[in-house]
Amino acid sequence: MPLDLTASAADITRAICDIPSVSGEEKPLADLIEEAVRALGHLEVLRDGNTIVARTNLGRAQRVAIAGHIDTVPINANVPTRDVEIDGEALIWGRGTVDMKAGVAVQLKLAAELTAPVVDITWMWYDNEEVEAARNGLKLLADHRPDLFQADFAILGEPSNGEVEGGCNGTLRAVVRTTGVRAHSARAWIGENAIHRAAPILARLAEYRPREVAVDGLEYREGLNAVRISGGIAGNVIPDACEVEVNYRFAPNKSAADAEAHVRNVFAGFAVEITDVAEGARPGLDAPIAQEFVAAVGATPKPKYGWTDVARFSALGIPAVNYGPGDPHLAHHDEERVPLSQITATERGLRSWLSGA
The answer for residues whose C-beta is within 8 angstroms of residue 311's C-beta and 6 or more apart is 167, 168, 170, 278, 279, 280, 281
Looking at 26, 48, 71, 165, which residue is catalytic? 71
Looking only at Cα atoms, what is the longest distance across the chain? 79
CA dihedral 81, 83, 86, 89 (to 10 degrees): 120
Strand partners, 175: 245, 273
Q: Where are the beta strands (DSSP E) in the chain?
A: 44-48, 51-55, 63-69, 82-86, 89-93, 120-126, 153-156, 164-166, 170-179, 183-184, 212-215, 218-221, 223-231, 237-238, 241-250, 271-278, 302-303, 320-323, 337-339
277 residue type, one letter: V
The H-assigned helical ranges of 280-339 are 288-297, 310-315
Active site residue 71: yes
Active site residue 129: yes
Q: Which residues form the catalytic set?
A: 71, 129
